[in-house]
Chains A and B, each alone.
Chain A
Amino acid sequence: MSALHPTKELLISTAFELSLIRPLSEITSDLVLEVSGISKGSLYHHFEDFGDLMEQVQVRALSIFTDSQIQGLQELMASSKTKAEFLQGLRPISHGNRSPDVGAARLARIDSISKALSSTRMREMKGPIQQRITNAIAEIFREAIRRGWANSDLDPMAVSVFLQSLNIGSVVDILAPTQVEPEAWFTLIDLILSEVILDS
Chain B
Amino acid sequence: MLSSFHPTKKSLIKSAIVLLDTHPSSEITSEQVLELSGISKGSLYHHFDDFSELMEYALVYMFSRYVDQSIEAFHQLLIVCKSPQDFLSGVKEITRATQSPAMRNMRTVRINAIAQAITNQRMRTLMSAEQGRLTDSFTDLFREAQEKGWGSKQIDPRAAAVLVQSYTIGRVIDDFTPEPIDMDRWFQVVDLVLERILCAQVA
Interface residues of A in 171-200 (CB under 8 A from B): 171-173, 175-178, 180-181, 184-185, 187-188, 191-192, 195-196, 199
B192 x A25 contact (CB < 8 A): no
Q: Interface residues of A toward B: which range?
A: 35 or more
List of B residues within 8 angstroms of A178 by Cβ: 132
A158 x B155 contact (CB < 8 A): no
B165 x A172 contact (CB < 8 A): yes
Docked pose: A123 CA to B201 CA in angstroms = 42
Asked if A130 is at the interface (CB within 8 A of a chain B CB), the reply is yes
Docked pose: A164 CA to B176 CA in angstroms = 14
A159 x B189 contact (CB < 8 A): yes
B176 x A158 contact (CB < 8 A): no
Docked pose: A123 CA to B188 CA in angstroms = 28
Asked if A111 is at the interface (CB within 8 A of a chain B CB), the reply is yes
Docked pose: A114 CA to B176 CA in angstroms = 10
B159 x A187 contact (CB < 8 A): yes
B177 x A168 contact (CB < 8 A): no
With A107-B114, A113-B172, A117-B111 given, name 20 new contacts (CB 8 A). Answer: A107-B118, A113-B115, A113-B173, A113-B176, A127-B176, A127-B178, A130-B176, A153-B188, A157-B182, A157-B185, A161-B171, A161-B181, A165-B174, A169-B167, A169-B169, A170-B170, A176-B131, A181-B156, A195-B196, A199-B196
The 9 listed contacts between A and B (C-beta, < 8 Å) are A113-B173, A114-B115, A117-B112, A153-B188, A155-B182, A166-B170, A168-B170, A170-B166, A177-B132
